[in-house]
Chain A
């Protein structure tokens, strides 16, 4: 780890100012469970680490008329335990229950989870100058890619590792970003960017931007929602593939649907094609079969990860059937 200065802002404005310039100069620190690893492995060497933890109020979780407001610094464990989350956003509680370990969930923050960097082992190893580190080569394309993306993987094939992100997108969440004195609200879906746009980052955040809150809107789709993932280990592992589904129902008929895949593409992958198949339908085996077939359409598996297509099919089916039961 290279020595760095730590800034301890008391307000979001101060934090924004302290992190202006470039990501090489300043990094934001929330729970630190991701950043610490990057600092220790030497792949990030900021001059300043801007510690957000002394800014009051950023960790609140409040029910409002618009929906549930989750402060960016709310700990994952607190979010999962929140009464409203348990009752009205069950997929979020499910996914956090699968995230990392209890110890990490007690430290890691909701905003930090959405902003975490990819886990690709070539990215995380400072001896590989990969695209994300300003290099000219994606090692995983030709190298060890069993855990990598099967969709949109032409440039960088590191998948978005968050299992909270697909759920947040499925819930049509809005993410509040403050920069300087300004505040903007973006759709969660638009928060994540593809490598084609900028391979060196995974979100729209610019230097000086601070995620402050996430709004989960109250809609009819929250109760009939589910997140299902598959993984190698049950204790402390990353998803091989996860699917989040949120439905609005009229009786048994689906009137609105959101389907988002995780861990198989560089971003949480919303699937309007699958959503279209569902809307207006009552789910039966034939529909599920069609859905599974469509789900893997457009995939481009790499040499070692074709099996992820089976997992897309399995988790899409299970997330849908579990959501219907909700």
Chain B
């Protein structure tokens, strides 16, 4: 077989066109509009729903291995210090202690750059004994001045966060000049010559992942083989990191369930490595899971941002130029500080300068659409300002500067759901009462067509049992379920006939759950493996019946003829399996690159409706209309769940969540779920989700990712709605009563 060309339909709604794509050898063509699919596209409860709600699902945290002991990490109380020495001798002699390690030895820790950074770890028979032993670890610190806030780190008199010649403030140079970008002078001139100019300064907070299950693992050694039950979003990433760090002959990572990750659990981390090393030292299984305070301080975050933007627009609504400067603090480094505030729309000629600011705080990690919610919050505020400056409806203005093939249709759906034309306040803040209502819009873009990087195994046994295996995890999106669904579809079986196995690195490799690529990477390869296994099964049947395999297909639990004619004698799937000569059909497939399809990006539009109490400053998000697309929707119920989760996390980010650092000692003062405030049930808006089913034609299931896109626009839409309600902008997240009251006072002072 060689590569082949096939003409497929691409598009959405009732607008499709033909596209000829090159299928790599062995590939199959995507689902087509109008295909009669029995499983794919149907609502199916997630396969592990009952296990999760009954507590039968065993997370890393739930593992209790024979002889298991407990690991604990000693953490620096100082925000900035050089570590002169770490001595675990006394700790090792404490009651119940079986192992102790110094991070100076294991991680070559010579300094601590934030309060809560690990310096040593012990493992003891009980948690109490481990905690008691930590107090006996002797650490000699040379304590240094520190800076824990963006503003202080940027000041001339700030303490140095780094070492050597590391500056606190460092420009992040992009590797290449991007298309549509100009020099600073060019862009400033373009803006100056535009009909109208608007500008804004925006501030966003540090946002922590706050998964319910903290980071960590249960590790056990059998001779030189390491087995690890991990809380992870990348079983193979976790495995690779432990292979590199522990000198194990082999590492096997299990993760059938993970209690949330949101981008923070790609690697083993210091806690994972320490757990594995303690277990080796102790000769017993070690459970080392972070407590909530450790989780909130040392397991990543979305950096904060300071964004200054200028925009020039002509009266006809065409944006001419866009000048943006951003700062952000990803902790002690500068990587990951950027804000994605110059995408989505046609913004004319762009100049962008990004700067990372070091602070003595725990480091950033990817957090659900890293760089996006903060950037889009600023971008969408600028879009509203520009629309207002030229007297154009904000959505009409966005449509005018949009280039996406899908998004214009989404604006119209969202408008209809929320009643935009009737309820958007043409004059912001014009409600007469104390509680004022407003609408705001935000948009998103995402790049999640998946691709290669996964293998999948499908087995059909003589007794009729079917299983699909991939070693990647289900971060909570329903990966297990949709993998089962595409296999069931391909074999003409109901979902409950397919056994699904995930989260074991002895199975074929799968991706880390990042970039929203798991579904578009795994479903096509699962379908391909099932297709191949089905073909083998049909060959067995064809030989028995004396027909060509190509004349047969699997449908409704039976072998049927593709031409619709009846078989000479009916053959059920079960009977077909009985004909297998060997014990089983066992297929492992991988995929090559994606096809050239119709759109490589997801769009997405959200409109929020808020009430603002102008006396108390309280903001209530009443409703969010979320219109989303993710290629072909395999399971609408799961997809909707994903969008709801994104909106909920986005509202929580918009109104409540923030990491608060104390300037006196440099520690996080709200490393808990009491004062690190996360939206609760009463704060949750009504969420109306609507999908466009898009046949994008880039892989055989047409699936695109959906994990991250739904959080991108939410805070922006909420902030714009607050402006629409009260006629003054809160340019800083989260939008707390304090900030709303300050904005209203400022408005009143202006008159």
Contacts and interface: CB of A to CB of B under 8 A. Distances in A.
Interface string B672-695: 001101011111000000000000
The interface residues of chain A, by DSSP majority, are classed as loop
A296 to B, nearest CB: 13
Interface string A109-150: 000000000010110010110000000000100111011000
A121 B675 contact: yes
Contact of B738 (A127, A146, A313, A317): A146
A307 B664 contact: no
A236 interface: yes
Interface stretch (B422-430, B441-449, B616-624): B616-624
Nearest to A304: B738
Contact of B737 (A236, A240, A304): A240
A287 interface: no
A127 B667 contact: yes
B683 A139 contact: no
B665 A232 contact: no
A146 B669 CA distance: 12
A232 B128 contact: no
B168 to A, nearest CB: 22
B737 A139 contact: no
B501 interface: no
B662 A236 contact: no
Interface in B36-50: none
B389 interface: no
A72 to B, nearest CB: 24
A233 B615 contact: no
Given A230-B616, A232-B677, A234-B682, A144 B669 contact: yes
Contacts of B664: 139, 142-143
Q: Most chain-A Cβ atoms within 10 A of its Cβ — which of B615, B656, B667, B681? A: B615
B736 interface: yes
A309 B531 CA distance: 68
B741 interface: yes
Interface in B709-751: 736-738, 741-742
A232 B737 contact: yes
A310 interface: yes
A145 to B, nearest CB: 10
A3 B677 CA distance: 30
B736 A232 contact: yes
A233 B677 contact: yes
A317 B614 CA distance: 14
B670 interface: yes
Contacts of B681: 235
B75 to A, nearest CB: 10
B656 A232 contact: yes
A294 to B, nearest CB: 17
Interface string A180-221: 000000000000000000000000000000000000000000
Nearest to B734: A232
Contacts of B742: 307
B618 A119 contact: no
A81 interface: no
Given A233-B656, A235-B679, A307 B617 contact: yes
Contact of A237 (B662, B670, B677, B741): B677
Given A233-B677, A235-B679, A121 B738 contact: no
Contacts of A318: 615
A321 B675 CA distance: 31
A128 B660 CA distance: 15
Interface in B305-335: none
A234 B77 contact: no
Contacts of A127: 77, 665, 667
A233 B128 contact: no
Contact of A233 (B660, B662, B663, B680): B680
Given A121-B675, A143-B662, A237-B677, A310 B741 contact: yes
Interface string A219-250: 00000000000111111110010000000000
Interface string A278-317: 0000000000000000000000000011010011011101
A213 to B, nearest CB: 30
B196 to A, nearest CB: 34
B663 A143 contact: yes
Contact of B667 (A125, A230, A235, A311): A125
A36 interface: no
Nearest to A231: B618
A290 to B, nearest CB: 17
Given A121-B669, A233-B656, A310 B617 contact: yes
Contacts of A146: 738
A119 B664 CA distance: 19
A240 B669 CA distance: 17
Top-3 shortest CB links A-B: A235-B680, A234-B682, A314-B615
14 contacts: A1-B128, A121-B669, A121-B675, A127-B665, A139-B665, A142-B664, A143-B664, A144-B660, A144-B662, A230-B617, A232-B737, A233-B683, A234-B620, A235-B682
Interface of A: 1, 3, 101, 119, 121-122, 125, 127-128, 139, 142-144, 146-147, 230-237, 240, 304-305, 307, 310-311, 313-315, 317-318
Interface of B: 77, 128, 615-618, 620, 655-656, 660-665, 667, 669-670, 674-675, 677, 679-683, 736-738, 741-742
Given A139-B665, A233-B683, A307-B741, 13 more contacts: A101-B680, A121-B660, A121-B669, A127-B665, A139-B662, A139-B664, A143-B663, A144-B661, A144-B663, A230-B618, A233-B677, A233-B679, A318-B615
